[in-house]
A and B are shown apart, each in its own frame.
Chain A
Amino acid sequence: MDRIARELRQPVRVSSSLDDRVMSAVRQVPPHARASLWSRLTTPRSVMVTPLTWGVLAASLALFAALGAAHAYQDVHRAAAPIAKALFPKADTPQRAQRVQFVLVAPDAKKVAVVGDFNGWDASHAAFQAKHRGGGVWSVTAPVPVGHHRYSFVVDDSVWVADPTAPRAVDNDFGMPNSALVVPNPE
């Protein structure tokens, strides 16, 4: 027992080259993948960038910004379209029109005009002044937007006459009758 204790108390003699050999062996062990990636990300290092690389990087950023701006523009345009359409229905959708002939038999008339939703009920509208075709027949052919309209004839600037050949519009709010006109879409 005493001999064993004496042996253990003896100082350990280590070769002076042991550290070098151990470290050399450690360096030869392949590094762990995760440790390597983390190490690469966190270890400060110097990066050499050529002017060409800077140019490519700047062009990429510019392209990214342009695509973003285009997307944002489309977004705003899409959002604005229904609002603008509701507020200004005629601003971006020109109404299609068809030429419509209006005929009234009024042998004693001196002047006949057509007024309606399509001309702001304006009896002086030049395109809707009927001409006397002879035999008491007055007519005018004028462009009328596609859709449902109410209209009437004004004889001698004073007498309102519904078109006897057209459907009647029953809304008689102002004591004078109107006719209805549905102009179909040409397509």
Chain B
Amino acid sequence: MNRLARAFVALTLVAPAARAQDPSLAAKLDRPTLLAVTAIIDSARAAKLPTKPLRDKALEGAAKGSDGPNIVVAVHHLSIRMGSAKRALRPGAGTDEIKAAAGALDAGVSTHDLARLQSAAGKRPVTMSLAVLTDLIGRQVPIPTATDLVLQLERSGVKDGELSLFQRNVRADIDRGADPAAAATTRARGLVQRGGGAPTSPRSSGRAD
């Protein structure tokens, strides 16, 4: 009964959905771009990847006046990064985590470090940790340093609100002229000490594998 029901419902729902095109995409993209983006989205859906980030990426490209091929390439790259991110995270990772992890991969974080971060967090969502990690890298904190600091914060059980405050403090320090790595390390040490342990020295150089 279960199998029959599943097969029937899947056939009923999938067939029209595969032919459907998102009306908001159709309004913003030219025909060839729309077809290519829809194909990528269909493939992502078949691979059980979230599709909204891909749709948003295409809309972002259209809003920024990018041409069709650039939009298709950006959407395709995002789908690849989300696939890698999904494999690195826990099986039940949500859309936001996969999206944030894809952003971290884009910033240069390795899938190995994504898995370490997920392991440190356990079942807690890593969305905020990944957003902070990506921000630190964007503010010129070396990738190994930023990764180790966020890992230590995650292992210390730091909450999302504290991570957000940490990010703001580091940004303020850098804006006032501090060295990015020194600012991040100092702020992380303070946060961890309040939580019960001091971070070890982060790796000083080299890109994560």
Shortest distance from the beta carbon of A40 to any chain B beta carbon, whole Å: 36
Q: Are B132 and A167 in contact, with the CB atoms below 8 A?
A: yes
User: Which B residues touch A184, using CB under 8 A?
Assistant: 128, 160-161
Encoded as 1 (CB less than 8 Å from any A CB) or 0, chain B from 28 to 67 comes to: 0000000000000000010010101100110111111010
92-127 of chain A: CB within 8 A of chain B = 115, 117, 120-123
Inter-chain CA distance A150–B60, complex, in Å, is: 10
Inter-chain CA distance A76–B63, complex, in Å, is: 41
> Which among B50, B53, B138 has the greatest number of chain A C-beta atoms within 10 A?
B138
Shortest distance from the beta carbon of A63 to any chain B beta carbon, whole Å: 20
Given contacts A150-B60, A168-B138, contact A182 B66 (CB under 8 A): no
Contact count A vs B, C-beta below 8 Å: 122
Q: Are A83 and B63 in contact, with the CB atoms below 8 A?
A: no
Q: Are B103 and A171 in contact, with the CB atoms below 8 A?
A: yes
Q: Are A169 and B74 in contact, with the CB atoms below 8 A?
A: no
What class of interface size applies to chain B in its complex with A?
35 or more
Q: Are A174 and B60 in contact, with the CB atoms below 8 A?
A: yes
Inter-chain CA distance A80–B6, complex, in Å, is: 6
Q: Are B66 and A167 in contact, with the CB atoms below 8 A?
A: no
User: Which B residues touch A120, using CB under 8 A?
Assistant: 24, 56, 59
User: Which A residues touch B9, using CB under 8 A?
Assistant: 76, 79-80, 83-84
Apart from A117-B60, A168-B134, A171-B103, list 15 A-B contacts with CB within 8 A: A79-B9, A83-B10, A83-B13, A115-B63, A120-B59, A121-B56, A121-B63, A122-B63, A165-B171, A169-B103, A170-B138, A173-B70, A173-B74, A182-B127, A182-B160
Which residues does A use to contact B, with CB under 8 Å? 72, 75-76, 79-80, 83-84, 86-89, 115, 117, 120-123, 147-148, 150, 160, 165, 167-171, 173-176, 178, 180, 182, 184
Which residues does B use to contact A, with CB under 8 Å? 1-2, 5-6, 8-10, 13-14, 17, 24, 45, 48, 50, 52-53, 56-57, 59-64, 66, 70, 73-74, 77-78, 95-97, 99-100, 102-103, 106-107, 127-128, 131-132, 134-135, 137-139, 160-161, 164, 167-168, 171
